[in-house]
Amino acid sequence: MSDITVKLLKLISEDKTLNEISEILKLSQKQIFNYLTMIKNRGYDFNRHYFHDGNIKHSFIHQYSKPLNKEIIFSKGVTKLHAIVISDTHIGSNFERLDLLNEVYEYCSKNSINIIFHCGDIIDNDVYECKINKESRVEYLLKNYPYDKNILTFAILGNHDLGPLTEFGQNLMLLLNNYRHDIIALGYLVENLNLQQDAITLYHPFHKNSFISKRCSDSKLILQGHSHIYKIEGNIKEENPIRVLVPSLSDISVYKESFPSILDLEIELKDENISVITIRQLIYLNKNFTPINVATYDLDNIDQTKELYNQDREKNLVLKKQNTYLSQIDKFNARWSK
């Protein structure tokens, strides 16, 4: 084995993070990832451990089968997770907004956010107008999806993401986990992600008969893609978990008022359990993401729960009427002027 390979294996055994290994070996994370891929061909295998601050650690696997690590690890004393939630980017279609996706990464970097949750339909499977042919869609995604060494994206895969597997035998989950260490594909349709003693669920219903398994419904928060709209379903005083319909970060509209947006999510933990959840819907306005809806859920004190969704929906319509930001995004102009 080469000297770099020997040093890399030694640093992994010393429990170094990917960032630490990168600094010691003077290699980029992508170069290290390529080395690990080659090392696997020599019979070594590794598991990845994902941390709240965007760090990754590798450990040797001493078993026959490798489970995908579906946990975010918190450093000692850390009790809050700040993340961005996106969905239905439909990359490869004429309605993609790679510009806004790159702005999401800028927003994360400026606000010290290391985690993004993606709720499915990362790519488009030729249902909408597409500028990239089906056979090249996955490669286009790998090349154009933003990258930041300090940001991890946890994704559930949707019905469009399933297309390459059913049509060509190309498994997007396998490709992402093999070639993009920063994008963690948890699975198709629905999966839990553990946060200490609690869990959240990423969900993308394929059709009207899709359902969430009992194991996943035990989580405190369901982040659901596919609908392309923002909505919080159910009353926290009557049912648990909180179910959030995540808006699309694309120009595929559902209603006249729909538009690309993201969610800013803060989760506070108490005694290793989810205690407070705050959700803000953000639109891109005057070269910044601006909140237009806010909801806070105090799971330990339900009376303190504040849902401002309906109130701020009126604010959306006022913004539309005033044409406050039409000059900023031309594609918004066509929609919001109707």
List the CATH number of the domain containing 146.
Answer: 3.60.21.10
Q: What is the mean pLDDT of residues 125-154?
A: 88
The candidate with the shortest Cα–Cα distance to 120, out of 67, 160, 60, 71, is 160
66 and 194, same domain (yes or no) = no
Question: How many distinct structural domains can be found in the chain?
Answer: 2
Least confident window among 136-145, 211-220, 242-251, 291-300: 211-220
Two tokens at 209? 């008969």
Q: What is the pLDDT of residue 179?
A: 85
49 and 142, same domain (yes or no) = no
Q: What is the mean pLDDT of residues 11-31?
A: 94
The candidate with the shortest Cα–Cα distance to 252, out of 79, 118, 148, 127, is 127
CATH classification of the domain holding 11 = 1.10.10
Q: What is the pLDDT of residue 208?
A: 56
pLDDT at 307 over 80: no
Evaluate whether 33 touches 181 at the Cβ level (below 8 Å).
Answer: yes
Length of the chain: 338
- 170 Rama sector, left if φ>0, alpha if ψ -120 to 50, beta otherwise: beta
Evaluate whether 263 touches 309 at the Cβ level (below 8 Å).
Answer: no
What is the pLDDT confidence band of residue 206, given thresholds at 50, 70 and 90?
confident
What sign does the CA torsion over 157, 158, 159, 164 have?
negative
Q: How far are the Cα atoms of 54, 137, 220, 248, 251 from residue 226, in angstroms, in the given order? A: 26, 19, 20, 8, 14
196 and 302, same domain (yes or no) = yes
Query: Tokens 């993308």 appear where?
Result: 204
Q: What is the pLDDT of residue 63?
A: 67
Q: What is the pLDDT of residues 229-270, one digit of tens each?
A: 999 986 555 556 899 999 999 998 787 666 899 999 999 999
What is the pLDDT confidence band of residue 44, given thresholds at 50, 70 and 90?
confident
pLDDT at 203 over 80: yes
The more confidently predicted of residues 286 and 318 is 286
Range of the domain at 10: 3-73
104 and 174, same domain (yes or no) = yes
153 and 200, same domain (yes or no) = yes
67 and 103, same domain (yes or no) = no
Two tokens at 253? 């509209």
Strands 46-51 and 56-60 come out as antiparallel
88 and 173, same domain (yes or no) = yes
271 and 218, same domain (yes or no) = yes
The pTM for the full model equals 0.84
Evaluate whether 187 touches 173 at the Cβ level (below 8 Å).
Answer: yes
Residues 6+ apart with CB under 8 A from 82: 111, 112, 113, 115, 264, 265, 266
3-state secondary structure the chain: CCHHHHHHHHHHHCCCEHHHHHHHHCCCHHHHHHHHHHHHCCCCCEEEEEECCCCEEEEECCCCCCCCCCEEECCCCCCEEEEEEECCCCECECCECHHHHHHHHHHHHHCCCCEEEECCCCECCCCCCECCCHHHHHHHHHHHCCCCCCCEEEEEECHHHHHHHHHHCCCHHHHHHHHCCCEEEEEECEEEEEECCEEEEEECCCCCCCCCCHHHHCCCEEEEEEEECCEEECCCCCCCCEEEEEECCECCCCCCCCCCCEEEEEEEEECCEEEEEEEEEEEEECCEEEEEEEEEEECCCHHHCEECHHHHHHHHHHHHHHCCCCCCCHHHHHHHCC
Which of 39, 73, 107 corresponds to the end of one domain?
73
Q: What is the pLDDT of residue 46?
A: 86
98 and 239, same domain (yes or no) = yes
Which of 73, 102, 134 corresponds to the end of one domain?
73
pLDDT at 338 over 90: no
Q: What is the mean pLDDT of residues 36-65?
A: 84
CA distance 152 to 52: 9
Q: What is the pLDDT of residue 238?
A: 58
Which of 44, 73, 102 corresponds to the end of one domain?
73
Q: What is the pLDDT of residues 85-113, one digit of tens each?
A: 999 999 999 999 999 999 999 999 999 99
Number of neighbouring beta carbons within 10 Å of residue 125: 21
Q: What is the pLDDT of residue 305?
A: 64
Share of residues in the chain with pLDDT > 70 (%): 80
Q: What is the pLDDT of residues 208-224, one digit of tens each?
A: 556 666 656 678 999 99
What is the pLDDT confidence band of residue 311, given thresholds at 50, 70 and 90?
very low
129 and 257, same domain (yes or no) = yes
CA distance 122 to 86: 10
Q: What is the pLDDT of residue 64?
A: 61
37 and 133, same domain (yes or no) = no
257 and 176, same domain (yes or no) = yes
Two tokens at 89? 């980017």
CA distance 244 to 262: 12
